[in-house]
Structure 1
Amino acid sequence: MLDTAPELAGAAADMLSELGLEPVPFASVREFIGKGAAHLVRCTLQASLGRSPDERRVGDGLESFFVHYEKRNGRDAAVYPGTREGLTALRAAGFGLACVTNKPARFTAPLLERVGLAGFFSATISGDTLARKKPWPDPLLAACKLLGVPPAQALMIGDSANDARAARAAGCPVLLVPYGYLEGATVQDIDCDGIVDSVLHAAGLLNIQS
């Protein structure tokens, strides 16, 4: 739904600067996005140091990253074309919508509010809502329970391999958009039920007119 890579990479750059470490190119940091903040910080530190960081450094890095990301959250995030229109069409057709993200809850709600998407969702599952985040199925199963639909009758619209793996593990059909965080892979490499250009395209496949 959202391109938050500039904000995440910016916070990672601020973290490295605060810790006195070498910068990491944006393209490299972008490939670390999608598996939660701890993964992003660990991989960014490793890329900067040229070796695996110890746990103390990861902890310091994560603390710094969160401080800097909180300042940036929602400031430069861009809603992908067709997202708002697709969500509008789905809601108008009576579908219940849930946002399932690996982003910590302290950032999820403010971000959705700032970009004007919060009102579309009946439920939100963040990366720290449960003990396990995507690619585990738990967040999707929790979202389905909150929406009152069996997983097999739900549809995951995702933008990463983590989304697809979580959907498969939960027993949900899954469509992927090609513009997400693919860790250097292509969307065609990921096991899914179809590729769509946007959320609006997905709504169209369900014979919904915006």
Structure 2
Amino acid sequence: MNKSFSPIADASEVEIEFPLPIKAVMIDLDGTLLDTARDLATAANMMLRELGKAELPLETIQSYIGKGVEKLVKRSLTGSIDGEPDAELLDRAMPIYEREYARALCNDTQAYPGVLEGLNALRESGFGLACVTNKAEVFTLPLLRATGLFGFFDIVVSGDSLPKKKPDPMPLLHACKHFGIQPREMLLIGDSLNDAQAARAADCHIFCVPYGYNEGRDVRELDCDAVVSSLYEATRLIRKLS
């Protein structure tokens, strides 16, 4: 075990030896690479206003982030994590939200501290890099380009790139296949239960950051190999497997 740095949490029952020997790293987008909550909330409140509904606080909408646009819209309409709005209302709301989010996409979004340093360190160490997100491609690619992160990634897997998205393991296994590696040679860095469940189902390693969304819950409760304070800190717990 690397004695110079102790993971904040290790929820796995399997003893993990650090630094992990891996070949590639997958990274989640919302809540891990980018703080997108303000722009997501702006779009949600513009939608609610147009539908004649009361706007919601940023903190409330932030707790609704993590399972894709449709789930965010449903939660915003009902004010509940598990709420199901009337189908006709949802049909009216979705195009409004998508229009408003396209307008607000990168007004206040920015990379979290340590992201650029971490990506540069991973690139310099020769790791393959993938962005794996549940966000639709129509929003994912413009965001990555606008924030200067697109060029770091060998592959971007969006929420609508494949038939299934996280927490299903399909996007992670797809990225492994792209790099020609086994799942245990891959690490996912994320911020939510979706990420932890997908990684365990795929048999990949999983680190979580504590600053993301995770529907308002503490990531230290998740089954992950480590909780790291930043993407850059994660680089201290891995090594390139040749």
Interval of TM-score (by shorter of Structure 1 and Structure 2): over 0.9
Identify the residue that residue 153 of structure 1 maps to in structure 2.
185
1:70-91 deviation line (CA, Å, top 9, x unaligned): 0111221110111111111111
Identify the residue that residue 40 of structure 2 maps to in structure 1.
8
TM-score (norm: length of structure 1): 0.95
AA aligned to 1:26 is L
The structural deviation recorded for 1:207 is 5.4
Matches of residues 71-90 of structure 1 in structure 2 within 5 Å? 71-90=103-122
The structural deviation recorded for 1:60 is 1.4
Identify the residue that residue 24 of structure 2 maps to in structure 1.
none
Matches of residues 122-137 of structure 1 in structure 2 within 5 Å? 122-137=154-169
Decide which structure has greater helix share.
1
Check conservation: 1:16, 1:22, Cα contact below 8 A.
yes
Cα separation, 1, equivalents of 2:234 and 2:115: 10
1:58 matches 2:90: yes
1:97-118 deviation line (CA, Å, top 9, x unaligned): 0000011000111000000000
Which of 141, 144, 147 pairs up with 1:112? 144
**Which consecutive residues of structure 2, in runs of 5 or more, have no partner in the other structure?**
1-32
Identify the residue that residue 26 of structure 2 maps to in structure 1.
none
Greater relative contact order (CA < 8 Å, ≥ 6 in sequence): 2
Identify the residue that residue 174 of structure 2 maps to in structure 1.
142
Check conservation: 1:97, 1:147, Cα contact below 8 A.
no
Cα separation, 2, equivalents of 1:17 and 1:114: 27
Distance 1:96 1:207, change over 3 A: closer
Which of 198, 206, 217 pairs up with 1:174? 206
1:204 matches 2:236: yes
- The total of aligned residue pairs comes to 206
**Which consecutive residues of structure 1, in runs of 5 or more, have no partner in the other structure?**
none
Identify the residue that residue 47 of structure 1 maps to in structure 2.
79
Detail structure 1 runs of 4+ shifted over 6 Å in the superposition: none
Partner of 2:102: helix, strand, or coil?
A: helix
Check conservation: 2:62, 2:216, Cα contact below 8 A.
no
TM-score (norm: length of structure 2): 0.82
Cα separation, 2, equivalents of 1:185 and 1:45: 21
Partner of 1:97: helix, strand, or coil?
A: strand
